[in-house]
Structure 1
Amino acid sequence: MQIQCCLLSLLLLPLVAAGSLTGAEYSLSVVSMKPLVELETKLIQNLDDYVKALEHKLQILRRHISEIRLENEKAQRNVVLYLSHPLNAFALIRRLHLDWVQWRKYMEQPVGGAQMRSFDAWRDHLPTQLDLQDACNGIARIQDIYGLQEKHIMRGQLAGIKYNISMSTGDIFAVGQHLSRTTNAKEAVPWLKEVKRRLRNQTPGPLAVDKAEVLLLLAETYIKSKHYAEALPILDRALKHNIADAVLLRRREEVQQLIAKEPSTVLDNAEPKDNSKVAILKWGCRGFSREQSPKALHCCYNFTTTPFLRLAPLKMELLGEHPYVVVYHDVLSDSEIAEILEMAERRMARTSTVAQPNRTSSPTRTAMGAWLKRSSNALTRRIARRVRDMSGLQLEGSERMQVINYGIGGHYVPHKDWFTQHPEVMGNRLATVLFYLTDVEQGGATMFNKAEHKVLPRRGTALFWYNLHTDGEGDWSTTHAACPIIVGSKWVLTQWIRERNQIFIRPCLGRTSD
């Protein structure tokens, strides 16, 4: 027994030492989810040890182990590729947050105490309820922004591409539960109806979804949307399974009274009208209403911004002059990108500003980020010089470089980089340089909604634009957004350039005519 405890202590030591996992916000970044695959591997092995100690549970446990191990081994073959797909990443978080807690309850027996202690040591590293909420929001965001059908997402068909991935009953139920709590609860109905359909063939086990719970939640969703006529037969069906359930009986009586008092609302599946930033995101990410004029495209070699470019000109593509937006191609090498990502992974933290002490899910931006000093090493100094070559501007007095990695359905709603209240010390953000560090398989475009520019992430390219007019006032036409990631891991590096030190390079002038 002492030998077994010593071996367990040695097994736990590497994970306990990696304290950075505790309290992580997994769904906000693909890279932050990488440790979850290894964590699930350890949990699977721990569960396998428990099975060996409880022979009378061997049959049911081994069936479940083979299923989850098959999925985990699929992830281990290429962790980043696996986590880049939102359904894989979502299912991983949901399993670790919900399924493994159920396994813990199933393991609560006099035998198997060592395995339960191992699980308790890992508990703090499991995704939280808020992680699962963020993951559900990510799946819902992909569906909403790109107008996808629920049945297609469940089968792994995303924006016209069919993947060899599908959602489990537990995955679908988790999304339905989450959506049922939102202000527009009717979005949960297709998800919960699919769970109800699948329960006909459900295999009994510790992870089985309770049919009465699904029926009650579906009925409550209809009631919340004032669709009482649809709720009543569902409550009757739930009562067949729990004929004496006081909650169901009371709820059925209340629904009957509501039907008698007021007519039931007809279930309306039409998309509500919305003029918000989300509506702008939908319009731009699905495709602008009018096509970009071919005359707006202009490509050339930039020899002139700095003297160095006479020797090594940059490939420049002009997207538009109002606002002035250009794309620089092939400005970062693969080795430079790899080094940037390695530096950033050690410093990742949530980028959204939220109230303290309790974190809340932000609808504005879903990502994790890291700040890099331009003086950190030879690479960051070289990138800073490259930014000066692209922009012709000084970086002294500007923020550090920020590296961002997006998670499940990661996005950034329409926003501006300049400040309405001009900062006194550093000045406003005159310009922005945005480097793309990875390709993105689906989604993730940078969208300038007013100018109707949309740029797809391409590894090694960079966007440059001015945020201010020549008189120093903010340019609203530079409002831009990051479309949600559908499939892929999106990494970007941003360098904002402040105006204070540009007084002799780009002095304030009268505004140019638009």
Structure 2
Amino acid sequence: MSSQQYLTLNDRLESGDKTAALEMLSLAASGDPDALFKASELSLRGMAGAVDLKAAFDLMRSAAAKGHEEAKRAEAYFTAAGIGTQSNPAKARRMLEHLAGHDRFVAVQLAFLNHVKCGERVRSAPRQLVSSDPHIEVVQGLFSPEECRYIQLVASPWMEPAMIYAADGGHLRDPHRDSDNMVVTPMAEDLVIQAVNHCIANASGTRYAWGEPLHVLRYGPSQQYRPHHDAHAFGPPEKRRVATALIYLNDAYEGGETNFPEVGVTVRGAVGDMLIFHNLTADRMPDPRMTHAGLPVTRGEKWLATRWIRSSNYFG
């Protein structure tokens, strides 16, 4: 059971209290397992100083050693992804196999992982070039229906209304989208989700480390993502979103097409299709033609997974 001190600090963090992060690091230094787990996230995201991947890994490993169940999984995920340590997928798998006897989620993950073989599909999947300039392309059937369902099952318990950060450090409902969403953070990016993200990188000609965490989106009737642009002019050019990858996870809905009004293109993918489009001009500025929208769903429920891709490592 989490300590009251940890719960109070976590509530303060969630409310935007900027002083709580350093206090959480102090509690972690005392050996509190939950605080160690949270401090790892803070170090990874640079919320208590500069981003420190090695510190994030060391804190996660310490939380795991204290018996924190989520940390035991996350230590393996960090090991596979190479977050704060050398990437070693084989070692990560052995770590998870050690947990599978008493961790049902890990057992299911490992069983499913044996059927994830994306490399061959990247080479053989048909590609539909929707637009050459700007580049908009659909990689058809890149992911299996089972993989799409797996992403939905992982995300479903954590879905919440899409929010944005407010000026006071709190949260506001996103004015551009009224969907529910969930972010698969590195602490939850299991080996199946990592395989999906590697597949996105291979199919898009980018690198795994360039991608932001996978976002899972769910739209009900009348919900939409209003016209917007995925790239931003602020920040260094190498950190701008050079491309967007969007995976269609289901097809039991009507409406909800992806529309590019400046190009005159509307796309409706089948289950497992990946839409990939480029966001920047040759001089790394946002291409105004790449404004796009998720049109309102008129019936059913639409599920998508999105990965925004940069041209340099997202972490670090």
Q: TM-score per shorter chain, which class?
A: 0.5 to 0.7
The corresponding residue for 1:444 is 256
Could you say if the C-alpha distance between residues 358 and 311 of structure 1 is closer, same or farther in structure 2, counting changes exceeding 3 Å? closer
Is contact 2:255-2:297 (8 Å) kept?
yes
Aligned partner of 1:498 among 305, 310, 314: 310
Could you say if the C-alpha distance between residues 408 and 363 of structure 1 is closer, same or farther in structure 2, counting changes exceeding 3 Å? farther
What TM-score results when the alignment is normalised by the length of structure 1?
0.35
Q: Offset of 1:397 from its aligned partner?
A: 4.4
What TM-score results when the alignment is normalised by the length of structure 2?
0.56
Is contact 1:403-1:494 (8 Å) kept?
yes
The aligned runs of 1:173-252 (5 Å cut-off) are none
What SS does the corresponding residue of 2:126 show, helix, strand or coil? strand
Could you say if the C-alpha distance between residues 408 and 315 of structure 1 is closer, same or farther in structure 2, counting changes exceeding 3 Å? same
Distance (Å, rounded) in 1 between the aligned partners of 2:125 and 2:148: 18
Aligned partner of 1:407 among 209, 220, 242: 220
Q: What amino acid sits opposite 1:371 in the alignment?
A: V
Q: Once superposed, which parts of structure 1, at least 4 consecutive aligned residues long, lie more than 6 Å away?
A: 356-360
Q: Offset of 1:334 from its aligned partner?
A: 1.7
The corresponding residue for 1:421 is 234
Deviations 1:3-42 (A, max 9, x none): xxxxxxxxxxxxxxxxxxxxxxxxxxxxxxxxxxxxxxxx
Is contact 1:440-1:458 (8 Å) kept?
no
The corresponding residue for 1:455 is 267
Which of the two has greater helix per residue? 1
What is the aligned length?
A: 194
The corresponding residue for 1:256 is none
Query: Of the two structures, which has the highest relative contact order with CA contacts closer than 8 Å and spacing of 6 or more?
Result: 2
Q: What amino acid sits opposite 2:140 in the alignment?
A: H
Could you say if the C-alpha distance between residues 331 and 311 of structure 1 is closer, same or farther in structure 2, counting changes exceeding 3 Å? closer
Q: Offset of 1:423 from its aligned partner?
A: 4.2
Aligned partner of 1:346 among 150, 157, 166: 157
Q: What amino acid sits opposite 1:427 in the alignment?
A: K
Distance (Å, rounded) in 1 between the aligned partners of 2:255 and 2:163: 21
Distance (Å, rounded) in 2 between the aligned partners of 1:427 and 1:332: 27
Is contact 1:322-1:477 (8 Å) kept?
no
**Highest CA radius of gyration, 1 or 2?**
1
Distance (Å, rounded) in 2 between the aligned partners of 1:311 and 1:447: 25
The gaps in structure 2 that reach 5 residues or longer are 1-118
Distance (Å, rounded) in 2 between the aligned partners of 1:453 and 1:486: 19
1:318 aligns with 2:129: yes
Could you say if the C-alpha distance between residues 311 and 350 of structure 1 is closer, same or farther in structure 2, counting changes exceeding 3 Å? closer
Q: Offset of 1:446 from its aligned partner?
A: 0.3
1:478 aligns with 2:296: no
Could you say if the C-alpha distance between residues 497 and 361 of structure 1 is closer, same or farther in structure 2, counting changes exceeding 3 Å? closer
Distance (Å, rounded) in 2 between the aligned partners of 1:493 and 1:439: 13
Is contact 2:143-2:272 (8 Å) kept?
yes
Aligned partner of 2:207 among 394, 400, 405: 394
Q: Offset of 1:441 from its aligned partner?
A: 3.1
The corresponding residue for 2:246 is 434
Is contact 1:430-1:468 (8 Å) kept?
yes
Is contact 1:395-1:498 (8 Å) kept?
no
1:331 aligns with 2:137: no
RMSD: 2.6
Could you say if the C-alpha distance between residues 335 and 359 of structure 1 is closer, same or farther in structure 2, counting changes exceeding 3 Å? same
1:465 aligns with 2:277: yes
Is contact 1:434-1:494 (8 Å) kept?
yes
Q: What amino acid sits opposite 1:390 in the alignment?
A: A
Is contact 2:241-2:311 (8 Å) kept?
yes
Is contact 2:258-2:292 (8 Å) kept?
yes
Q: What amino acid sits opposite 1:468 in the alignment?
A: L
**Percent of paired sites with the same residue:** 27
Could you say if the C-alpha distance between residues 370 and 474 of structure 1 is closer, same or farther in structure 2, counting changes exceeding 3 Å? same
Which of the two has greater strand per residue? 2
Deviations 1:360-418 (A, max 9, x none): 66542111111114672221121112112211111314310000111231101111000
Aligned partner of 1:488 among 300, 306, 312: 300
Distance (Å, rounded) in 1 between the aligned partners of 2:222 and 2:265: 21
Could you say if the C-alpha distance between residues 473 and 357 of structure 1 is closer, same or farther in structure 2, counting changes exceeding 3 Å? closer
Distance (Å, rounded) in 1 between the aligned partners of 2:184 and 2:205: 21
